Chains A and B, each alone.
Chain A
Amino acid sequence: MTEHDTAEIAFDATFVKRIPKALTFSEIVDELSVNLIDHDLVTSDYPAAVKAREVEFPTGLPTEPIGVAIPHTDPKYVRQNAISVAVLKNPIRMTVMGTDDETVNVSIVFLLSLGQSNKQLNILAKIMKIVQDQKALTKIMNASPDEIATVVRDSILEDK
Chain B
Amino acid sequence: MTQAKKKTILFVCATGIATSTVVAEKTLEYLHENGIDVNYTQTNVASLPEYDANDADLIVATTNVPYETPIPVIRALPIITGIGDQKVLEQIKAAIEE
Contacts and interface: CB of A to CB of B under 8 A. Distances in A.
Contacts of A56: 14
A96 B77 contact: yes
A124 B77 contact: no
Interface residues of B, number: 23
B64 interface: yes
A116 interface: yes
A135 to B, nearest CB: 13
B62 interface: yes
Contacts of B13: 57
Contacts of A88: none
A100 B42 CA distance: 23
B94 interface: no
A72 B18 CA distance: 8
Interface string B29-67: 000000000000010010000000000000001111000
B77 A72 contact: no
B17 A116 contact: yes
Interface in A70-107: 70, 72-75, 96-100
B97 to A, nearest CB: 24
B63 to A, nearest CB: 5
Nearest to A116: B17
A128 B14 contact: no
B83 A63 contact: yes
Nearest to A62: B81
Interface residues of A, number: 28
B18 A114 contact: yes
A122 interface: yes
A119 interface: yes
Interface of A: 53, 56-57, 61-64, 70, 72-75, 96-100, 112, 114, 116, 118-119, 122, 124-125, 128, 131-132
Interface of B: 13-15, 17-19, 21-22, 25-26, 42, 45, 61-64, 75-77, 80-83
Pairs A-B, 10 closest by C-beta atoms = A132-B82, A57-B14, A125-B22, A98-B77, A61-B81, A118-B17, A124-B22, A63-B81, A119-B17, A57-B63
20 contacts: A53-B14, A57-B13, A57-B14, A63-B82, A64-B83, A75-B17, A96-B77, A97-B19, A112-B18, A114-B17, A114-B18, A116-B17, A118-B18, A118-B21, A122-B25, A124-B21, A124-B22, A125-B21, A125-B22, A125-B26
